[in-house]
Chain A
């Protein structure tokens, strides 16, 4: 178990370095001079040269990368921006704020949206899927299956504004989506994020309903279920104590992958509801060719995915005793 962990963590660190190098190099393939963004409307050439020097752009590419990497561990003093404490991911070219603190600052928003939505979709998806499997072929199953198809074909940017229009503008049932720090007011945090959670999860819930249903039906046809039944265990006990456990394995696998997708979905959700999270940062960084921010956001995204993958592997072992981590 410990060796497994160490191996995976070392691998993850390797991946992060490779991603940072690739992003760095790719950025320099873009024929754009970020120094222009730091110069006035009428920009004297000596100012442009000064800015390039301030940004360290007059160094060779590998020196620039080295400075960046060293800055992560030791901090840097950047003439255009001032002191940047470790872990220093540089300053955003667009907003001039330290990349690390910008990301830290926005992380709670994206995590709240993502994990909130994950809870909603897992609960709804798995429960409706189980009901559908339990009620296989009956009206409830039909309704659950049909609504899952409808849900899967909807889009965030369509459902989002629609829900805001009805629930907020017309009926006044809910407040306008916003982020209130959970530490400040958990109640308001909850109600303000309800719409984003619902919207983001609608699309995914459908998948989980369908998947849970089919996996449960499969499990119910397994030999061990028949054995348990034959031994006189009630249908409900079999369903709730054994079959779901078998069904959870593929669901956890998919969920690990989907969490990453959910993070991606957060970009659209954040744009739709004007939430200031990592997704918005990513979109802006790309729009502005903002290298330091782009690097930072990419690394955070990669970090999240790598961590989740390791976590899912560990979860396997918890759910399925047959799996042993080596």
Chain B
């Protein structure tokens, strides 16, 4: 699975292509509050941006820390904000062709099979959901996309009603109806849809959703979705989910026309509800988009569609694209990338070149990386804390080429892009970023294990070999005996997946599906979810934390929920279940002939919807 790695030092982590790395976010508790006001009131979220809080000092880093924008505010819009057209972009012009070059082709285009951020980015151009995020000057608003508003509920989030806008059309001019929306959700139960998110599927039926329903293709339908008329869809969930309107903003819940559903083959060529349609596509090589004449900007509060055409080319490695952007010649002047980051060896050159910096896109992604500590094997919390104390965060960052290539050194589980994030540093990592062997020794003495053995599993790549040397040195200084176990990059997750994996410490990464603690914390630290290949890789199972997760999930006030998640973050760090590594950053370039190229804080990639040819 390649490509799923987001920007930055994926290479640093051995190019593990992690399917975990991706996310689309939405926001749970704000939704709850908003829906209480029938979605009519905009409600300020309180995500603090800018990587909030202290960051690693730039001293010793090869490249100066750069400003990384995070989500500064997320609000929930009502009917007013959900009206088209999208916010104007100063200086924008209509027409021309934008070229997009990237390493990988899009592995999926069928909305039901889209989960990772890179696929969501391209889907913005031709797939619409019931709701979506409107970006304006770095501010995000959840708005109705196909729906007239962000949905209404009268029973605390169990029943959700969405009304479709008037004048919505598919690329063949036929109207988008409530039957299509119903079909879009029902088909997610078909056996061939396995790659997308599974939240809604599980919320609409009791028990194992695979057994409860097998999709609409044999004529069966789902009772939980009602379509009283052509423009109304009503969902009845098995339990209240006050954030349902954020969940359906995921590309995975995008609209698929009933009449054009080609099942398995839909993945090759989806039918457009957005401003562009797929004109041609050659797998792994290229894709051409041209305008969908039936898309009406007046119905769309999210999408600007300035270029007449998109020409996309795949198979371009980061080094190659970086050099092309730097050369900025010919057709490359109107070229951008969605994902390809700046190649590490060019960072220094770009930072020192104002004209290149003017064509750069930077920001803080929702993606965090960390080293899992297997709490099933290292049961003494003092020993786990000693690992964090002794950890060589700075040395590792240097191996990865400094902050510009990797990210800010992290000290928490939650990313600064999550609502409620609180900056704290329980183990003084930022004060002593190279590790504190003396303090670690003291903790090991208290634990009565002055020389514990640590089995560290890693991806065997040149970079990870260097990281391993740094870890071994630092931990040995504190008294640990380090046994390094190299793993093959292709089978890394298969090796660490079993609960009984035989390793003590191993790398991982995560991004929340929406920017609240819910999907950031629960999948990783809910002890009730421990299973082979499940996401709780540290196998942490603390009843107090499990209960805290349930409590936080039930809070409807976004500010209070944020506080609860931050408190849980602190508890998890007290348990020393992970050594946080980075809040990952994105740093990429584009051609000088383009305007409106922005950073997308939802995906951590470049944003296509405001781009225009100068």
Contacts and interface: CB of A to CB of B under 8 A. Distances in A.
A43 B210 CA distance: 13
A36 interface: yes
A276 B315 contact: yes
A287 B1 contact: no
A43 B532 CA distance: 11
A137 interface: no
Contacts of B442: none
Interface residues on A, range: 35 or more
A46 interface: yes
Nearest to B510: A41
B493 interface: yes
B1 A37 contact: yes
A288 B103 CA distance: 14
Contact of B535 (A36, A42, A54, A81): A42
B327 A48 contact: no
Contacts of A36: 1, 19, 493-494, 533
Interface in B193-223: 194-198, 202, 208, 210-211
Interface stretch (A93-101, A117-125, A237-245, A298-306): A93-101
Contacts of A288: 1-2, 490
Interface in A161-208: 169
A274 interface: yes
B552 to A, nearest CB: 18
B538 to A, nearest CB: 16
A178 B1 CA distance: 26
Given A31-B491, A95-B283, A46 B265 contact: no
A38 B210 contact: no
A9 interface: no
Interface in A247-272: none
Given A274-B315, A274-B316, A287 B194 contact: no
Interface in B74-95: none
B525 to A, nearest CB: 14
B200 to A, nearest CB: 12
Interface in B308-336: 315-317, 320, 327, 329
Nearest to B519: A42
A84 to B, nearest CB: 10
A210 B423 CA distance: 69
Interface string B257-286: 000000111011000000000000011110
Nearest to A38: B194
Contacts of B284: 95, 97, 102, 276, 280-281, 284
Contact of B283 (A44, A48, A102): A102
B612 interface: no
Given A48-B533, A280-B315, A42 B210 contact: no
A181 to B, nearest CB: 11
Interface string A34-52: 0011111111111110110
Interface in B21-35: 22-23
Contacts of B554: none
Nearest to B314: A276
Contacts of A44: 198, 202
Nearest to A51: B194
A32 B491 contact: yes
Given A30-B490, A95-B284, A96-B107, A40 B264 contact: no
Interface residues on B, range: 35 or more
B195 A32 contact: no
Contact of B195 (A39, A45, A97, A276): A39
A157 to B, nearest CB: 11
Contacts of B320: 274
Nearest to A37: B1
Contact of B198 (A42, A95, A274): A42
A33 interface: yes
Interface in B295-313: none
B495 interface: yes
A46 B493 contact: no
Nearest to B195: A40
B13 to A, nearest CB: 16
A173 B19 CA distance: 43
B210 A79 contact: no
Contacts of A48: 533
Interface in A73-114: 79-82, 94-97, 102, 105
A169 B326 CA distance: 11
B121 to A, nearest CB: 16
A95 B105 CA distance: 8
Contacts of B315: 274, 276, 280
A50 B316 contact: no
A110 to B, nearest CB: 14
Contacts of B197: 40-42
Interface in A285-316: 287-289
A54 B192 CA distance: 8
Nearest to B283: A97
B523 interface: yes
B495 A31 contact: yes
A237 to B, nearest CB: 52
B393 interface: no
A54 B284 CA distance: 24
A82 B264 contact: yes
Contacts of B523: 42
Contacts of A33: 494
A48 to B, nearest CB: 7
B107 A169 contact: no
Given A30-B491, A96-B267, A288-B490, A38 B195 contact: yes
Contacts of B535: 42
A286 B107 CA distance: 17
User: Which of B116, B490, B531 lies at the interface centre, i.e. has the most chain A CB atoms within 10 A of its CB?
Assistant: B490
B491 A41 contact: no
B20 interface: yes
B378 to A, nearest CB: 24
A94 B2 contact: yes
Contacts of B167: none
B283 A40 contact: no
A106 to B, nearest CB: 9
Contact of A50 (B1, B2, B194): B194
17 contacts: A30-B491, A33-B494, A36-B493, A40-B195, A40-B198, A41-B115, A42-B523, A54-B191, A79-B192, A80-B192, A95-B107, A96-B107, A97-B268, A105-B282, A169-B329, A280-B315, A288-B490
Interface of B: 1-2, 19-20, 22-23, 105, 107-108, 115-116, 191-192, 194-198, 202, 208, 210-211, 263-265, 267-268, 282-285, 315-317, 320, 327, 329, 490-491, 493-495, 513, 523, 531, 533, 535
Q: Which 6 A-B pairs have the closest CB atoms?
A: A82-B264, A32-B491, A97-B283, A46-B210, A276-B285, A40-B115
Given A40-B115, A96-B108, 17 more contacts: A36-B1, A36-B493, A37-B19, A38-B194, A39-B194, A40-B198, A41-B19, A46-B211, A48-B533, A81-B264, A82-B264, A95-B107, A96-B107, A97-B268, A105-B283, A284-B2, A288-B490
